[in-house]
Structure 1
C-alpha cells in the first residue's frame, strides 16, 4: 500500500565544498511540467567534481545546490498543458532543459544552448531528492521491462551515443577506448554493438581492466605504464592491432579527459583517423602533438552532453543490444546518499557505478 510522504530529503553540495542531507521544498508543476518521484539516480564524476573542486570549468557552485542528473522516476502530478504523459508513467529524465529560442536550439543542437537549465548544475537543483519538478518535454517513457536502474543509466549511455555518432565508428574497423570507468565501459559495450572491431580498452588500474574483459570477453586490454611516455604507450597499443599501419585503430574514444591519455590517443590512432574526447578534463591542455596530428590529418573532436539520444538508448537497452546492469556496483537508499558519495570518491572501494534509490511508495493523491 502506498503511504503519504510529505518530506523531501535531498543531497546538497555547498559553496565551501561540503555535502549534506537537507530537507528540500516540494514544488508544484507549472505549465508543461510534471512532478516526479525520483526512483533512481546514478552518481557521476561531475557530481564528485562539484563537491571536491566546487566547479567544472566555468560552472561554479555558488550556494547550496541539489546534485544529481542520471535519473529515472514516476510521474506523480501533471501541470497544465501536459498531454503526452499520465500519472503513473515510468520515465527516464533528460536532465538538460534548453531555452528553445536560440539559434542553436533552432538548429537542433540544443546541447550547445548557453541558456540551458541543467539538473544538478548550480543554480538548478538536481535529481538527488525524492520529489522533483521537470519539464514534460524532457522526459522519456520507459517500457515495463526496462528497470529504473537501467533508466538512470540512459544518461551516461547518451553521452557515449552522442560521442559515437560524432566519431562515426565503422563496422569492422578497430577502436580504442581510453579509460575503464563507467563511461569507458559503456563506450566499450556500445562500440561492440556498433560492429567496431577489434576493440582495445586502456586504464591504469588492472582491476578495472579485468572487469572490462569480463564484460566484453573479446576485447583486448592494455594497462597504461606510468614510466613510459604517451608516445611509447601508444606504440604498445598499436601493436595489439598488428604490424600494419592500415590495421591501426581508426577511432579512439578518449573517456578520461586526462592530458596524457589524450596525447596517447593522438599517437595511437591511425593517420586520417578520429580522436573523440568524451572525458572532461582541465580547462587548458597544453601538450597536444599539433604537427603529428596535422601531418596525419587526425581529427580531434569533442562532445558536450547529447542531442536526441534517449529514444535510441531505450531501444538499445530494450532490444538487449547491451546489458548495462552489471555496471551497478553499489546501491544506497536516498537517506544514505552521503555515504554513497564517499564510496564513489574513494578509488580504493572499487566502485563502478553507484546508484541511489528511493523505495518509498508514494500515493499520487497525497501530493495533490
Structure 2
C-alpha cells in the first residue's frame, strides 16, 4: 500500500491557484457592481454564489486535498467567498434603497388634493367573469348551485368515485381539517391522524352530488366557487382559486349534447365561430372522459406549420386546453340515488383564473390575488 501524497501542492490545482481565486472574486464583484436593478443582481447572485458558481466548484476541490493542505486552500477560497458575499449584501442594500426612493417619488400621493375627487373603483374581474359565465348558462335553462367550501370527504371524493388510495386524497394535494386532539378517526401514526373527515374542497364537483341529492330530476346546474389545493403561489398556480362546474342529468343525454353545450359556451365567451375538440382522457367521476380544447382565439389555427407566423398564445399548436369533461360515471349516479339505466348526464369543469388569463392576456396569476387596484381598475365596473 502506498503512503499518502504529502507533497501534494494545492496550488497546482487549477481552480485553487491564487490567481484563479482572485479572478473569480473580481468577476463576481464586477458583476454585482454592474447590476443596475434587483433583477439583474439576482441573476448575478445565482451565477457567482450559487451551487454551480466558480467559487463553489473550487470549494469542492478542497475535499480531495490531503489534511495538511486543506487549511491554506480553505482560507484562500473562504476569504474570496466572504468578500463576494459582503459585496453582494452591500449592492443589494444600495439597489433596495434606490428602489424605495424611486417608489416614494413615482407613487407619491398628493394629500392636498380635494378630498371629494375619489377615483372610481372596480369589481374584481374574477367576480365579473364568473357572473358572465353564469349568465350564459342561466340563459340556457341552468340553475346556479352552491355548496360549502369545508366539505365532507364523502362528497369531495367517495361520491365522485375516488378510490381510498387515489393520489388526489394525499396531503400533498388536499387540505384536511383536523378534528380536536384525540377525536380523530385514523389510527396513531397514520397520515390521517386526527382527521375529522372534512376537507377544504379541492374542486367544485361535490356540488354535483349535493345537487343530485337535493333536487328533483332532471338536473341542470352550474356550480361556481372557490377551491383549495396545496400548490405554491407562482405565476401560474395558486393554493386558492375558482372553478366552474357544469352538470346536466336527464333522460337520453349523450356526448353530442355535451359537445354542443361546450361549443355554445366558448362562442359566447370568446366570439362567434370558435371551435372546440375533445381528446380522450380519464377522470374518476366521468366515463367516457375527455379534455376539451378550444381553437386559439389569437391565430385561429393559422400558425400551425407556418414558421413565419408563430403564435405565443398556443405555441403554434392551434389549440388551447380549457378543462375536463365527460359523461357522468354510472357509479356517481348510483351513489347519489339516480338510476343509471334510466338517466344519463354530462359534466364539465374549468378554472376561472385560467380563462381570465386567456381572455385578457394576464401573465401572472399573483396579480389576481394581491388586491392592487391598479390591476382591477382597467377591467371597469360591470353590474
Please indicate the TM-score interval, normalised by the length of the shorter structure: under 0.3
User: Between Structure 1 and Structure 2, which shows a larger proportion of helix residues?
Assistant: 2
TM-score, length of structure 2 as denominator length: 0.24
Higher relative contact order (CA 8 A, sep 6+): 1
TM-score, length of structure 1 as denominator length: 0.25
User: Between Structure 1 and Structure 2, which shows a larger proportion of strand residues?
Assistant: 1
Bigger Rg, which one: 2
